[in-house]
Chains A and B, each alone.
Chain A
């Protein structure tokens, strides 16, 4: 993917927008579902003294999914938690270099996690382990390689944009709200 050239109106930017829309949609649906299911479980238990056996495991997997989707969005908007004491103190040029370096390292680390997560998912798919009910484990795990993969690509894109002297749209990574 290293031959991807960041171009605001080009296919990369369009793809970015599509992925962003999918993330937004999924996170809304997931959170709504979680609220309803978690509330429903309590009502079922307290009023009819019953519970959906797949309810709790599904909720737990949703937490992982929502966490990674949220992290993907945080990458998109440049809002990951970080400390930033030195960047403010060094000359602007050095600060720019350090920002580019941050993006490159983040891309490398996320890419590595994604690679090993693919292996992990494939292994579980082959073994055919079940997470709960008739849901296979690999289906629940698939968000890990996807999430870290998308984050890696976004960091990489940011890095390339900085190399070309552009400021990525996700500038201003301030910690405070």
Chain B
């Protein structure tokens, strides 16, 4: 009976029923089955008002939307070119870093390809990079950066995992620290490949004048990464405080100093950004209820016992996890994947002796790769659509990037110390 209901819900989800509805329905069925009054559902939803760190989500999302609406992406591209155009693969490297930074602010919802990729792609070709390389780079870096603060998926993982309270407690700040080296590994490996691949490429001489002008042009935005990353990583700001400071700073810079966003535009940008926040929040609220239902029904325990009888060691489990998460990453967007999968996976992974902080990094690294895993990764379609290329061309262009990041993901998965060293766990 329960199995039938589950299959029905899955079918509904695959036919496009909003995920928060499917998750809420699952929780309701479970509670009704156990004879628990359904009033627990609004009570669980109200917990959205009792989780302080959630404040960071609307604030960072709004700040991210503001930056995307301004001409900041163009300034970032010009600055990159002026500073590193002289070095083989230099512009590619800076493009990768810029995309990672941008995605960290936007939380990997495809905005990077649309807002920044659209500027980087022609600039790369103009700088002498081949069309295929440029297309691949832009598509692959559309999700690069989800491991850096203040990426929303990281915050969301922290919230969900803490709510479960298995495997020992940790802070969001620790999660941010854990993402640092793995994120740099990804950017580093792609950079090394970019240099090697473009070693014979014509270079643009460095002129101090152009560099100075590019710096002056973006002088107000340059402190932003320092405020956010420095503030959070040094522990000076709590996550929600950093979000408040960032938002205020971005408003002052984009609206009052650069004057690229008119005040009358703000309500529209607020509405658009809060629509995304609302879509995430109802899923989160629904999952607060369904997670309790899951634990109540001992689903993770049963799942663990089932797996344990088949898979005995941690390494085999990690391999299975990689395949599974890659698959999930091509199907679900990163937010719903975290909310739906973490409550199921975390207790199982902890059972296999995996640190919850490490699991978060593994999870998100896989999701990031899932975004452009052929044949159905979302960013592949986005890129094909945005740059007017056939999907086959996009597959071919992204394939080398995919294999490099696959190696990075494997290193991240099987070398826990890379994630955990900085956190002191």
Contact = CB atoms under 8 A, between A and B. Distances in A.
Interface of A: 24, 27-28, 31-32, 34-35, 38-39, 41-42, 56, 59-61, 63-64, 66-74, 77, 79-87, 98-99, 101-102, 105-106, 109-110, 112-113, 116-117, 119-121, 123, 140-141, 144-145, 173, 175-177
A123 B279 CA distance: 28
Contacts of A59: 55
Contact of A80 (B14, B18, B45, B241): B18
Given A71-B278, A81-B19, A141-B46, 4 more contacts: A56-B52, A66-B277, A116-B37, A121-B42
A39 B245 contact: yes
Query: Main SS of the interface on chain A?
Result: helix
A139 B18 CA distance: 28
B15 A102 contact: yes
B59 A34 contact: yes
B248 A35 contact: yes
B48 A64 contact: yes
26 contacts: A27-B274, A28-B270, A35-B244, A38-B247, A39-B244, A42-B241, A63-B281, A66-B278, A67-B48, A70-B275, A71-B278, A73-B271, A73-B278, A74-B279, A77-B275, A80-B21, A80-B279, A81-B20, A82-B16, A84-B16, A98-B16, A109-B25, A116-B37, A120-B43, A141-B46, A176-B110
B292 to A, nearest CB: 15
Contact of B41 (A74, A84, A105, A116): A116
Contacts of B20: 71, 80-81
Interface in B227-261: 240-241, 243-245, 247-248, 251
Contacts of B17: 82, 101-102, 105-106
A117 B247 CA distance: 33
Nearest to B18: A80
Contact of B16 (A31, A67, A102): A102
A7 to B, nearest CB: 25
A63 B55 contact: yes
Contact of A38 (B55, B276, B332): B55
Please list the 5 inter-chain residue pairs (A to B) with the smallest Cβ-Cβ separation, ordered nearest first. A70-B278, A67-B281, A38-B244, A80-B18, A71-B278
B24 interface: yes
A44 to B, nearest CB: 12
A110 B277 CA distance: 18
B278 A68 contact: yes
A145 B45 CA distance: 11
Contacts of B378: 175-176
A68 B52 CA distance: 17
B278 A144 contact: no
B42 A141 contact: yes
B60 to A, nearest CB: 12
Contacts of A71: 20, 278-279, 281-282
B16 A99 contact: yes
A116 B39 contact: yes
Nearest to A73: B275
B41 A113 contact: yes
A133 to B, nearest CB: 15
A93 to B, nearest CB: 14
Contacts of A84: 14-16
A86 B14 contact: yes
B277 A109 contact: no
B184 interface: no
B114 interface: yes
Contacts of B110: 176-177
B121 interface: no
B391 interface: no
Nearest to B51: A60
Nearest to B57: A63
Contact of A109 (B21, B42, B46): B21
Given A56-B52, A80-B18, A98-B15, A144 B42 contact: yes
B49 A42 contact: no
Contacts of A70: 274-279, 281
A10 B279 CA distance: 29
Contact of B19 (A61, A73, A82): A82
B164 interface: no
A67 B282 contact: yes
Given A34-B58, A42-B245, A176-B382, A85 B331 contact: yes
